[in-house]
Each structure stands twice: as C-alpha cells, then as structure tokens.
Chains A and B, each alone.
Chain A
Amino acid sequence: MLILNPDRVRFGDIAWHDVLSIAAEAAPERAVVEWSDLGPHAAFADVPEVRTTLKVSRSPQADDLASVKPGQRGVLEFFTSPGADARRVRIEADCIIERTSCQFITGKGAVQTITLIALSPDGAADPLTIEPV
C-alpha cells in the first residue's frame, strides 16, 4: 500500500508535516516451505511470522531538530488525501520507530525517511486499522 501526500499525519503527540508518502509493506520474517517424498514440488507453505513496516518519507524543516528515535512507541495516524470520487480513509497503527535517516536528493532537497514496525494488539489482528471517514 502506498499513500501519496497523506493528510494530517501524527505519531503519538507529534504532528509530522510535509509528508511526501507513506508506504506499508508486509514481509515474511520467517516462512515455512515443506516438501514430501512424493516429488520435487513444495507441498506446503505458510508465513507464520510477518513484519509489517511503514516507511514515512517527508521533507524535514530547517528548524526540525527534535527527531524521533529508534525504540520510540506511538500510534501513527494519517488520512488519505481526499480525491474527487474516492472516499477519505483513516489509517492507524501502533508502531515502534525502527530507524530514521536523511538524505539530500538533487532537485528534491532533503528527504527524511522514518521506518516504523507496526504492532498487532494480540498477534492475530492486522496491525493496520483502516476505516472510511
């Protein structure tokens, strides 16, 4: 899921301005694939451990010195930008900051990337809560 120019992005009590995009990725932390004695092809597969990551890309302000740190926990909340026909959607996730980085891109300026790990409340529910507004 890729949300461009999300609206009203907050991490806990912190409002993040000038957010360019938020990308949600789900990757296998551990996958199980099994074969039988009956042939060469996999007979079973599952992903018992999934890591859901959110990457927030934003343009940091010149006076934006107070930055989040790895290990910080908070609720990331943002809204999709309203389109002509599409409904606005609110997305929320309880997250831990994994890393932050900055780079300068010619033509774009400074871009800060904040990577968060989204947590499930009980290990079974999807970490992302998506609801129409």
Chain B
Amino acid sequence: MSSSFKSLDLFGSGPHRFYQGRQGQLLMLDVALGGFTPMSFALGLVELEVFVRGRLIALTESGLWSQRDAITAQLLHPPTPGTLIDLHGRQWTDMSFVRFEELDRTDRNHRRTLGYIATFRRMIAPEAAPEG
C-alpha cells in the first residue's frame, strides 16, 4: 500500500522509510535552573516525531520540481494536523508536517532524484504561535 499524509501520496515516487524519534520525558536539570543539586525535573512527555527518509524520483527536472513543490506546499503556518500513514498501514494521527530537508544535491543519470528527510510532529498545541 502507499504511504500518505492527509491522504496525499507525497513520497511514493521513490523508496522511503519511516522511523520515530526519541520518546519519553523532557528532563530539566536543577543546575540549569541555578540550583546546586543533581536533581532533574520531569516536564512532561516530549512531542512524538516521525521521520520519513527517502528519495524522490522523476524522469524530468520539472517532474522532480513538481514533487518538491507538492511537498513544501504542505508546510503550513500554523501547522494543520493530519494523519500520517506508512507503507504497512501504521497510522499516526494529529501529526503536523514541520520540516522538509533536502539531502545533498539533485542527482542526474538515468533518473532525476533527490534524497530528503521529512519531519512530522504530534504537537501539543499546533495552532499556538508567539505574539508579535
């Protein structure tokens, strides 16, 4: 089956892989707060991150740009959460698409290809934005 984000097949032109980021507590050391003890404070569970690492593949330059533009068009402010689904049907709900990083340069031989890492995060308050 195809992977998708908000029902869009953004990454299907080439092979891609999913993996989750570090999970658990956000810990703050007492010394970082001006204290003098080895204590740490648990501030809550960090927001879940899911990474998609893969390669976009196209026959032409314009075809590759179309794919990149379709992906970056999903980078919104403020982020609007959606469902991310991997190649095996595993679903992550309420995920915000927060980063798209192109790896190295466009490669050109029998195909036009580009490596990338896309980052999704389950934000506690995606609609929140700082004033000013």
Residue of A nearest to B108 (CB): A48
Chain A nearest CB, measured from B52 CB (Å): 10
Cα of A35 to Cα of B19 in the assembled complex, Å: 14
- B55 to chain A: which residues have CB within 8 Å? 32, 34, 44
Interface residues of B in 1-56 (CB under 8 A from A): 14-18, 54-55
Chain B nearest CB, measured from A50 CB (Å): 8
- B109 to chain A: which residues have CB within 8 Å? 46-48, 50
B107 touches A46 (CB 8 A): yes
Residues of B within 8 A of A (CB): 14-18, 54-55, 57, 86-88, 107-111, 113, 115
Chain A nearest CB, measured from B118 CB (Å): 14
A-B residue pairs, 7 tightest by C-beta: A48-B107, A36-B15, A43-B15, A34-B15, A37-B87, A37-B17, A48-B109
- B111 to chain A: which residues have CB within 8 Å? 46
**Number of A interface residues in the complex (CB < 8 A):** 14
A34 touches B108 (CB 8 A): no
Q: Is A65 an interface residue (CB 8 A)?
A: no
Q: Are A34 and B14 also in contact (CB < 8 A) when A46-B110, A46-B113, A47-B109 are?
A: yes
B17 touches A44 (CB 8 A): no
Cα of A105 to Cα of B115 in the assembled complex, Å: 48
Chain B nearest CB, measured from A30 CB (Å): 8
- A48 to chain B: which residues have CB within 8 Å? 107-109, 113
Interface residues of A in 5-57 (CB under 8 A from B): 32, 34-38, 43-44, 46-50
- A37 to chain B: which residues have CB within 8 Å? 16-18, 86-88
Cα of A49 to Cα of B57 in the assembled complex, Å: 16
Residue of A nearest to B14 (CB): A44
